[in-house]
Amino acid sequence: MADGVAAILVHVADTQAGLAWYQRAFPDAEHRFLAAFDFSYLRIGTIDLEIVQADEKVASGAAGSVVYWAVADVDRALAHFEALGAHLYRGPMAIQEGLWMCQVRDPWGNCIGLRGPRPGKGGIDHETEL
């Protein structure tokens, strides 16, 4: 039924500041602009990362689903996000297949998941331990 993730909306109080912060957080993202809608967003691979206005229907902050981004080194990615002002929220914790995961919170309180190896730290394969 679904062909994959098309877009991720991140709700913030200040969309211009949010767009600038996420551009620094994902420096390889392509900035795109839709003139017909006066709307800027970021393209990361095949996914549109849309920074939108928080409102009474959807506030910013930790409250449900968390998108996990695949990274080559969880520790290096964590340091990158922390240098931008994100704060570690959960983890890092070992998961399956030698991978690790953690969550950071952006300046608006939204959770960003990071998932990948921690070179030199190893990992726990929970599936084979059962």
Largest CA distance in the chain: 54
Q: What are phi and psi of 92, to 5 degrees?
A: -65, 150
Per-residue pLDDT tens digits for 19-34:
999 999 999 999 999 9
The radius of gyration of the chain from alpha carbons, rounded to an integer in Å, stands at: 16
Q: Are 81 and 104 in contact (CB under 8 A)?
A: yes
Q: Is the pTM of this model over 0.75?
A: yes
Per-residue confidence band for 124, with pLDDT thresholds at 50, 70 and 90 = low
DSSP code of residue 97: G
Domains of the chain: 1-54 (3.30.720), 66-124 (3.10.180.10)
Question: Higher model confidence: residue 45 or residue 65?
Answer: 45
pLDDT tens, position by position, 62-106? 887 899 999 999 999 999 999 999 999 999 999 999 999 999 999
